[in-house]
């Protein structure tokens, strides 16, 4: 396993297992399978509705808690001083653990500064080992880094061969924030798994398209969390530490970059408007 040392000294695995869009019951089996396949980092979120399944899978795996790195995210409807802190405690309860290794703010909407103050409180109280953000563009990340008492240690954003996020990555490095990718397989868009270039390069190394894409991102210093519900594919995705891409191959893959979102464009006003209306409804339901 390769590791990233965060700004506070915490060592984080560079490769983990993501559970987005997996139901709670299936998550238990998938997490246990992932841990059996060698994964030691599991990425979930309040909004995924499967934190309990993650906790059950961890328990079923039989692997000691201190060998695992758990990531979760506070959903936007839980932003607010006191409210965010309480939601983190609820995540701890659902996961069945005393401490979360990395907690992120899921989106840069609503009162994320108030939410961040609660994140800092949870960090100082030892509920979490590290704190960060997700889906924060470069200016929003700069905003929170500038005014926070404790700066984010990680920013998880859409990153894959079709959107390599070089500008955002440079900004993160300048701010001392680790770059974590969601959707490293572009969620299958752009005919990802049949891409001719990635297939050709994969044949050269005896590796799959997915393995080539993951190795490329790892070489850029990007933390990745591929998802699969099939154990054999989990094992395949984990098997990326025994080869290196040539400079020539990396240069070819760099040319696949479209420099735009493929999965979920946060610049799309209609898309984000729908998200905000959803969150407003969730907040109203909590009142």
Residues classed as catalytic: 48
Handedness of CA 267, 269, 274, 275 (dihedral sign): positive
Give the residue among 101, 103, 71 at the shortest CA–CA distance from 85: 103
Alpha-carbon separation of residue 283 from 21, 37, 76, 118 (angstroms): 22, 39, 9, 18
Any binding-site annotation on 179?
no
* Joined tokens for residue 50: 């499967």
Which segments of the chain does DSSP mark as H helices, in order? Answer: 24-36, 51-61, 83-95, 112-124, 138-147, 166-175, 196-205, 209-219, 231-238, 247-254, 269-286
Euclidean distance between CA atoms 239 and 255, whole angstroms: 25
Interacting residues of 144 by C-beta distance below 8 A, sequence separation 6+ = 112, 113, 116, 133, 136, 151, 152
Q: Show the tokens assigned to 269.
A: 């006003």
Bridge partner list, 43: 18, 71
| Pairwise CA distance, residues 139 & 155, whole Å | 12
In terms of Cα–Cα distance, which of 250, 286, 245, 283 is closest to 111?
283
- Report how far residue 102's alpha carbon sits from residue 85's, in angstroms, rounded to the nearest whole number: 14
Sorted by sequence, the CB contacts under 8 Å of residue 187 that are 6+ apart come out as 262, 263
Which residues sit in the known binding site for substrate? Answer: 106
């Amino acid at each position: 396993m390769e590791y990233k040392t965060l700004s506070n000294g915490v060592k984080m695995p560079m490769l983990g297992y993501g559970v987005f869009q997996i139901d709670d019951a299936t998550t238990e089996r998938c997490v246990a399978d992932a841990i059996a396949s060698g994964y030691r980092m599991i990425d979930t979120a309040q909004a995924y509705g499967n934190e309990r399944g993650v906790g059950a899978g961890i328990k079923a795996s039989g692997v000691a808690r201190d060998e695992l790195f758990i990531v979760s995210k506070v959903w936007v409807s839980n932003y607010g001083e006191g409210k965010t802190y309480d939601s983190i405690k609820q995540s701890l309860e659902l996961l069945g653990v005393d401490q979360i290794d990395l907690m992120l703010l899921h989106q840069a909407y609503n009162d994320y500064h108030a939410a961040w103050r609660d994140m800092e409180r949870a960090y100082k109280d030892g509920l979490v080992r590290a704190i960060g953000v997700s889906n924060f563009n470069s200016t929003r990340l700069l905003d929170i880094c500038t005014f926070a008492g404790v700066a984010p240690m990680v920013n998880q954003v859409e990153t894959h061969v079709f959107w390599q996020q070089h500008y955002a990555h440079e900004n993160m490095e300048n701010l001392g924030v680790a770059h974590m990718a969601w959707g490293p397989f572009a969620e299958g868009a752009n005919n990802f798994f049949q891409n001719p270039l990635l297939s050709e390069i994969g044949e050269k190394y005896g590796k799959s398209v997915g393995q080539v894409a993951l190795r490329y991102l790892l070489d850029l210093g990007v933390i990745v969390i591929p998802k699969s519900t099939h154990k054999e594919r989990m094992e395949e995705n984990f098997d990326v530490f025994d080869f290196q891409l040539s400079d020539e191959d990396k240069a070819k893959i760099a040319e696949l970059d479209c420099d735009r979102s493929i999965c979920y464009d946060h610049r799309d006003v209609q898309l984000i408007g729908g998200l905000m209306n959803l969150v407003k409804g969730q907040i109203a339901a909590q009142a």
